[in-house]
Structure 1
């Protein structure tokens, strides 16, 4: 898949940069004195955080950079696989992570969530004549990304035969296209964007199976940093920047109402 090969090429130098860098979560005073956040994302979750060549971009990347600008700061980005991000924040390796973390009680035991920067839900994608509802997934095999809330929710759907996990959503989508699985469950906005880019794949969006609020995550009890982030996010939403980015990536408002 073209997107996947591009991501693999772009991720390598950043992965090496991460491996050779010592970083830790800091309080607001230390971040402000430094003039920049050290933040982590995944870089493989189109259209939220992904690479265009060697450039890291996406809705969440641009929102985070807009928030940082409101706070008078820059962002020094790092890339970490999604399934390792909660642990990296818990271990105080970065100031925050922004990579489509939906709120769950289990995650909230390890990290704190900021105010949500978008709302979404888990949606089914399958062939046009396939399993497009939760009821139709009985006896079927479903692809999900490893360590996501979508994986947890898919396990709760009655009658599903098997849940197959993949390191990233492009791999799950490839498995669906090659008929290794019957359906794929992921973020509804990611599915929308993926299907628009692959209109000839014969895959369509089906039922939305749950709703979630998505936020940046930070180490526990870093209260002033969370307050400052939430202030910056509110200003970005108020001045029209957020609406512009929402329209750019989704052609609709993805904020939580």
Structure 2
């Protein structure tokens, strides 16, 4: 298969349409693809836009690993990429309300979520990791008992934090939560994806990881349960960009490694 030309430039600021701005009537766009698309000829996919380096704004443009993977999938399907942002706390409700076609926003597969949406094959693996201030004496998960933990609401990290403490501070961005770790007395720890924390450390943030990942998550594309044809085409497109090297190119750009090339032996897979 011919490798697609570079399509990974930042998207124009006009791509930053709030999902909530649409209406159900917007879906009556004359789409004749049989894919039940929100807008004819486009794959409209959502992320929070607050999850660097997966989806974030840079100079007013929406960019990141998730955004570029979505663009590659769309182009493989012969569609125009149309990435948008919407609050994470309501992203599933917005998908089910036909505000966009898919979630390509680092949503981990869980049994609970699978009751509401249909998931594609995984498009990356990451570990749920504890991060603490650089001078913290927290050395293991057991040390989190009764501590103040920062997480994004309605995330898998929220569920994990509840196992250790009732003192949870909620954020709409993991990056903001990690920044609060550097403010004395504000947070004791943050639970988030390993790659997000490592990105913050590499940018000079005075934080550190604790131990090994608590689990491995499988991030996947989410669509409405009835959109079986769309899901099949997304899976075919994902397989194609993995096979032709496009996926690895995107992953190496953002992480200097292939996020699907992970040794899962002996590590709990989040379900």
Q: TM-score, normalised on structure 2?
A: 0.82
CA distance in 2, matches of 1:71, 1:83: 29
Q: Which has the higher helix share?
A: 1
**Residue 76 of structure 2 aligns with which residue?**
70
Alignment of 1:1-257 (within 5 A): 14=16, 18-22=19-23, 23-24=26-27, 28-31=34-37, 34-130=40-136, 131-157=138-164, 160=165, 162-179=167-184, 180-197=186-203, 199=204, 201-207=205-211, 208-255=213-260
CA distance in 2, matches of 1:18, 1:210: 31
Q: CA deviation at 1:104?
A: 1.3
Distance 1:80 1:119, change over 3 A: same
* Structure 2 unaligned residues grouped into runs of 5+: 1-11, 263-271
Q: CA deviation at 1:76?
A: 1.9
CA distance in 2, matches of 1:248, 1:14: 22
RMSD: 2.4
Report if aligned partners of 1:125, 1:132 keep a CA contact under 8 Å in 2: no
Q: TM-score, normalised on structure 1?
A: 0.86
CA distance in 1, matches of 2:53, 2:34: 29
CA distance in 2, matches of 1:33, 1:19: 15
Aligned positions, number: 243
